[in-house]
């Protein structure tokens, strides 16, 4: 996989207006958009992959490569790019807070003449200037998990709200007496963090037996999550569980729970399905994660952008799969190869 990290900031003023087609689109909510198709329907509804023009170059703009999820997404891009003999450059900002660095990468790819872009913005707005320019030049651009740009013309990813819903339903089924729970959020202002949190809180509050005593952002940071969780546990010694917006933070929460010797009382769920989360589940520490299968998501996203670059018309949203992973099913998912995993998820 091409792994380049750019940290040089380029101060470029990009202030182009939307094209008429872009302006006609309503703000995107990828969870509820009706113009959608499921990942397993791409070939059955759209036909086989069209002929890809020789020399096609795809640019992948990621949030960061310090998080395994985003490295795995790039692996998925490369799998499909290699299959169709397409060049892909996968680049990322220095960290998940380097919004200008990420914008600079996108701007540079546009000036370097990439045929299409796959972009995963750090916030819902930080890449908007570059993507407007790309689409004004006829460059296909696809928003791929997990922040969602409201003006995005195409999006590939899972239903973010469902991540939180699945975890809330686990608590409802496995902790029938209810109790105090808490949420450790991602970065404020990011669509995925908002939707995941709302999915959890709305579902668990509707049950009537649970009390969400805290919902605090930790900015995708494991260290911040540890500190946040430590404070929550000190204030709520009778807490029964956490829902955490990603796995890196969830592993920080697990450390806080272990430090308080509360492993047998406090359940911890993350989101993403990184390998360290699987290891922690197998070790009996992390209770579970909602895996959104980043390699497969990357493969689907690359197929979508290649179809678009070849002139195909696609729905605005292509949804990808997710599954709640716990000790009961962790071996099924962790031991499945790519082909077996696709069959499991297609059911």
pLDDT score at 170: 98
Q: Does domain 37-157+294-320 have CATH number 3.40.50.2300?
A: yes
Domain ranges of the chain: 37-157+294-320, 160-291
Q: How far apart are CA 164 and CA 247, in angstroms?
A: 13
User: Whole-model pTM?
Assistant: 0.90
Question: What CATH code is assigned to 160-291?
Answer: 3.40.50.2300
Would you write out the chain's pLDDT as a tens digit for each of its 347 residues? 433 333 222 323 323 333 334 457 899 999 999 999 999 999 999 999 999 999 999 999 999 999 999 999 999 999 999 999 999 999 999 998 999 999 999 999 999 999 999 999 999 999 999 999 999 999 999 999 989 999 999 999 999 999 999 999 999 999 999 999 999 999 998 999 999 999 999 999 999 999 999 999 999 999 999 999 999 999 999 999 999 999 999 999 999 999 999 999 999 999 999 999 999 999 999 999 999 999 999 999 999 999 999 999 999 999 999 999 999 999 999 999 989 999 999 98
pLDDT score at 335: 92
Within this chain, domains 37-157+294-320 and 160-291 share the same CATH topology: yes
Task: Please classify residue 326 by burial: count the beta carbons closer than 10 Å to its beta carbon, then call 0-12 exposed, 13-18 middle and 19+ buried.
Answer: middle
Binning the chain into helix, strand and coil, the percentages to the nearest 5 are 45, 20, 40
Q: How far apart are CA 239 and CA 190, in angstroms?
A: 27
User: Is it true that the peptide bond before 146 is cis, omega within 30 degrees of 0?
Assistant: yes
Nearest to 97 by CA among 143, 133, 66: 66
Nearest to 174 by CA among 214, 204, 212: 204
The answer to whether 77 touches 90, Cβ cutoff 8 Å, is yes
Give the DSSP letter string of 9-34. -------PPPPHHHHHSPPP-TTT-S
Nearest to 156 by CA among 270, 68, 221, 60: 60
Q: How far apart are CA 241 and CA 227, in angstroms?
A: 16
φ/ψ region of 112 (left if φ > 0, alpha if ψ in -120 to 50, else beta) reads alpha
Number of H helices, E strands in the chain: 13, 14
CA torsion sign for 329, 289, 294, 313 is positive
Q: Which residues contact 34 (CB under 8 A, 6 or more apart)?
A: none
Q: How far apart are CA 119 and CA 244, in angstroms?
A: 24
Nearest to 225 by CA among 244, 200, 197: 244
| 273-279 contacts, C-beta under 8 A, 24 or more apart | 273/69, 273/247, 273/325, 274/67, 274/68, 274/69, 274/72, 274/247, 274/248, 275/68, 276/68, 276/247, 276/251, 277/247, 277/250, 277/251, 277/325, 278/325, 278/330, 278/333, 278/334
């Amino acid at each position: 996989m091409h792994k380049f990290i750019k940290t040089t900031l380029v101060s470029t003023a990009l202030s182009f207006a939307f094209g008429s087609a872009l302006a006609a689109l309503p703000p995107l909510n990828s969870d509820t958009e009706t113009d959608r198709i499921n990942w397993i329907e791409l070939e059955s509804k759209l036909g086989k992959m069209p002929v890809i023009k020789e020399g096609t170059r795809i640019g992948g703009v990621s949030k960061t490569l310090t998080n395994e999820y985003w490295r795995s997404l790039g692996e998925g891009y490369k799998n499909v790019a290699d299959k169709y003999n397409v060049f892909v450059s996968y680049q990322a900002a220095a960290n998940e807070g380097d919004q200008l660095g990420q914008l600079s990468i996108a701007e540079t790819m546009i000036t370097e003449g990439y045929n299409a872009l796959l972009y995963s913005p750090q916030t819902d707005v930080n890449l908007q200037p570059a993507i407007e320019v790309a689409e004004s030049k006829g460059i296909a651009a696809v928003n791929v998990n997990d922040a969602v740009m409201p003006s995005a013309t195409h999006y590939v990813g899972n239903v973010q709200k469902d991540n939180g819903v699945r975890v809330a339903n686990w608590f409802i089924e496995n902790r029938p007496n209810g109790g105090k729970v808490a949420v450790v959020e991602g970065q404020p202002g990011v669509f995925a963090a908002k939707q995941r949190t709302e999915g959890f809180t709305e579902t668990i509050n509707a049950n009537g037996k649970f009390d969400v005593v805290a919902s605090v952002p930790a900015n995708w940071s494991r260290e911040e999550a540890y500190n946040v969780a430590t404070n929550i546990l000190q204030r709520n010694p009778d807490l029964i569980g956490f829902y955490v917006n990603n796995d890196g933070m969830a592993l920080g929460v697990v450390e806080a729970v272990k430090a308080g010797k509360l492993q047998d009382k406090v359940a911890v769920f993350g989101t993403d399905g990184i390998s360290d989360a699987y290891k922690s589940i197998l070790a009996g520490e992390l209770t579970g994660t909602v895996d959104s299968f980043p390699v497969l998501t990357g493969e689907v996203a690359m197929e979508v952008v290649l179809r678009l670059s070849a002139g195909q018309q696609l729905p605005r949203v292509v949804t990808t799969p997710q599954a709640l992973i716990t000790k009961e099913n962790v071996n099924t998912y962790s031991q499945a190869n790519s082909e077996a995993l696709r069959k499991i998820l297609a059911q």
